[in-house]
Amino acid sequence: MEKQKKAYILGIAAVLIWSTVASAFKVTLGYMDPWTMVVLASIVSTATLFLILIIQGKFPMLLSLGRKRTLKAMIGGALNPFLYYIVLFWTYDLLKAQEAQPLNYTWPIILTILSMIFLKQRIRKLSIIAILISFAGIVVISFRVGLFSTGEISHSGVALGLFSAVIWAVYWTISLKDRTDGTVKLFLNFLFGTILVTVFVLGTNGIRVGGVEGLVSAAYVGVFEMGLTFILWLKALEISESTSKISNLIYLSPFVSLFLIAIVVGEAIMLTTVIGLILIMAGVVLQRVDDKRKFS
Whole-number pLDDT of residue 295: 56
Count CB atoms within 10 A of the CB of residue 182: 17
| Residues 221, 28 contacting (CB under 8 angstroms) | yes
Whole-number pLDDT of residue 149: 54
Contacts of 291 (CB under 8 A, 6+ apart): none
In the chain, where the domains are located: 3-295
For residue range 83-97, what is the model confidence (pLDDT) as tens digits?
Answer: 999 999 999 999 999
Specify the 3-state DSSP secondary structure of 236. helix
For residue range 27-65, what is the model confidence (pLDDT) as tens digits?
Answer: 999 999 999 999 999 999 999 999 999 999 999 998 888
Whole-number pLDDT of residue 12: 93
- Please state, in angstroms and as integers, the Cα–Cα distance from residue 294 to each residue in 249, 250, 290, following that order: 22, 21, 6
Residues of the chain below pLDDT 50 = 146-147
For residue range 106-138, what is the model confidence (pLDDT) as tens digits?
Answer: 988 888 888 777 767 777 888 889 999 999 999
- pTM equals 0.90
- Please state, in angstroms and as integers, the Cα–Cα distance from residue 52 to each residue in 18, 88, 175, following that order: 18, 25, 19
What whole-number distance in Å separates Cα of residue 82 and Cα of residue 238? 27
Among 239, 221, 244, which Cα is nearest to 291's? 244
